[in-house]
Amino acid sequence: MGKRRRALAVIVCLWSLISLSGAARLSSGSKQTLEVRKHLRRLNKPAVKSIKSPDGDVIDCVPISDQPAFDHPYLKDHKIQMRPKYHPEGLFDEDKVATSAKERANPINQLWHVNGKCPENTIPVRRTKEDDVLRASSVKRYGRKKSRSIPQPRSADPNLINESGHEHAIVYVQGDSFYGAQATINVWQPKIQQSNEFSLSQLWLLGGSFGEDLNSIEAGWQVFPYLYGDNNTRLFTYWTRDAYRTTGCYNLLCSGFVQINSEIAMGATISPVSAYQNSQYNISILIWKNQNEGRWWLKFNNYVLGYWPSSLFSYLANSASMIEWGGEVVNSEPEGQHTSTQMGSGHFAEEGFGKASYFRNIQVVNSSNYLNAPKVIGTFTKQSNCYDIQTGENGDWGRYFYYGGPGKKP
């Protein structure tokens, strides 16, 4: 009888432990769910209209005064500026690029446009889904890059050159005060080996050191399954004032960037994209600072999208000290080998037009608000057997370069 009671007591004790453990797991899961849903309510503002894109995205048309930017403590009483007071002078004339039918690029749009447009006085915002947030390492890190993802070409520190698994093929200028930059970027859909890796092509405007005080404004196109849940090529922006540690984010996934345009959605799919030995498609990106008002404006193709207020930054509140153009991939070294994630078209620079990806008409804005081609440029790539770069200059394309590659060869 005593043995039975002891056995029963052991069973009851074990059952209690199992129940407590299960309750703890349930409590933890419920806490995460509540945290995710609270974050979604912050990001997904009430919309006057919603548009379902063929790729599965939902684009919410949010009143311009209710956009995420105004959650930022520095922008609580911010008055929206609906247009820049002036543009840079000397913008490269894209019309004269089309001198050769072979090297003429086609118009490009965002995929959601086929199903509608947002009304005036709203901005299109890609709706964040619960699965998007759950793919991140934490709610706090959702929509943010990891630290040290900027190429520092002249660093002697091998850890910085490796950039914690980030690899680059870039052109850069430094040693002056820059008030903007522009480029026309060939658009592709590179293959990604692992969902936590990405491939992008962009401009960087940088200020400060490459330590914890780095300021950066970035824009271009990217393929990033971990962030978007698919392998589509998407327009993106990014900003930070502390080297990606606690400030800034992709697109409109935090407060900061003030959007004024009702036609282009940050993070939305770009369509169509270039094909090997076939039609080529480009986007043009221009970022410039109105020095009097202190705002960094963003122009995508012919659309002025909005601006980053200078109050978001420390060094970039004045000017940029370095500009970079080019490609970046994450190399997570799956199975201990270099990734086969592609950069650009996935082909090396030497293959040229229709095969390799390119940047053309790269220009910088000087203190006189004039755009011109940089006189002296540097190039940087760590593993040219995976991703390389070749520069050139001519009357049609101005300063240009081809770049990219297949990563690890099969």
DSSP string, 181-232: EEEEEE------SSTT--EEEEEEEEES-SSTT-EEEEEEEEE-HHHHSS--
Catalytic, out of 328, 333, 350, 393? 328
Q: DSSP code of 128?
A: P
SS3 363: strand
Q: At a CB cut-off of 8 Å and minimum separation 6, what does 89 contact?
A: 369, 370, 371
Whether 393 is a known active-site residue: answer no
SS3 372: strand
CA-closest candidate to residue 257, choices 222, 218, 293, 309: 309
Catalytic, out of 218, 263, 350, 393? 218
One-letter amino acid at 55 equals D
DSSP string, 225-284: HHHHSS---EEEEEEESSTTSSS-EETTSSS--EE--SS--BTPBEES---TTS--BEEE
CA-closest candidate to residue 153, choices 325, 401, 408, 373: 325
d(Cα 186, Cα 204) in Å, to the nearest integer? 16
d(Cα 145, Cα 143) in Å, to the nearest integer? 7
Three state DSSP letters for 10-25: HHHHHHHHHHHHHHHH
Count CB neighbours of 41 within 10 A. 10
Whether 94 is a known active-site residue: answer no
> Which of the residues are catalytic?
218, 328
